[in-house]
């Protein structure tokens, strides 16, 4: 099933597929992931959220900021820019039902991650899960072959979407490219930078 969104995903997002969002550091991958989650949520779909670099409170605030067309950074500095009624209305619309956020900060073992995703897919019946970001999943693993670790995690995630039918939005960082210039400044991107992570 294809779910159209309005911010540049060709053909829409599909359940049962693993969609990867990637770019250089600070470009706005997490912001885009929240925007996509917001659009899917406003279409009546159930969204699971695993943002591993921020507290659940910030994830919720991000959705509410989008709903009120304000910048998250400004809303966090000045929560009073929205009235209590605006906060409550957005919370009721987006978060109170058909939205699940799991609190986990930092690296996480692959099997624990998959258990959380199974919970979101089967117990909470999520249509889509946002994972931000994959690099955090393997950052705490004490191995000397990070590329192989990431390949294994991606294989597990691909098998999971096939098994469960859930859609996953997966955020990843590009590796720093010392020879080709900064990706943030137009540096050339090739496929190996998707695998050789920061």
Q: Among 52-56, 73-77, 116-120, 173-177, whose mean pLDDT is lowest? A: 173-177
ω into residue 170 within 30 of 0, thus cis? no
Query: pTM for this one?
Result: 0.81
User: 19-23, 110-114, 148-152: lowest mean pLDDT where?
Assistant: 148-152
Three-class secondary structure of residue 33 per DSSP:
helix
Question: Tokens 């659009």 appear where?
Answer: 39
For range 32-56, the mean pLDDT: 93
Rounded CA gap, 156 and 111, in Å? 9
Q: Is the pLDDT of residue 141 over 80?
A: no
pLDDT at 185 over 60: no
Distances, alpha carbon 194 to alpha carbons 11, 55, 197, in Å: 22, 26, 7
Does residue 180 have a pLDDT over 80? Answer: no
């Amino acid at each position: 099933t294809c779910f159209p969104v309005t911010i540049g995903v060709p053909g829409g997002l599909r359940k049962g597929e693993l969609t990867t969002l990637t770019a250089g550091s600070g470009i706005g991958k997490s912001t885009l992931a929240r925007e996509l989650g917001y659009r899917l949520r406003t279409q009546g779909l159930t969204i699971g959220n695993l943002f591993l670099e921020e507290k659940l409170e910030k994830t919720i605030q991000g959705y509410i900021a989008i709903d009120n067309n304000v910048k998250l950074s400004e809303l966090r500095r000045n929560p009073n820019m929205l009235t209590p009624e605006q906060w409550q209305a957005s919370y009721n619309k987006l978060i109170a039902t058909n939205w699940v956020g799991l609190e986990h900060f930092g690296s996480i073992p692959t099997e624990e991650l998959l258990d959380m995703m199974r919970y979101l897919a089967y117990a909470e019946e999520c249509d889509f899960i946002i994972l931000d970001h994959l690099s955090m999943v393997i950052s705490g693993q004490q191995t000397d072959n990070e590329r192989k670790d990431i390949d294994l995690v991606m294989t597990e995630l691909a098998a999971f979407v096939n098994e469960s039918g859930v859609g996953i939005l997966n955020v990843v960082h590009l590796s720093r490219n010392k020879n080709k210039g900064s990706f943030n400044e137009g540096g050339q991107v090739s496929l190996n930078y998707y695998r050789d992570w920061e």
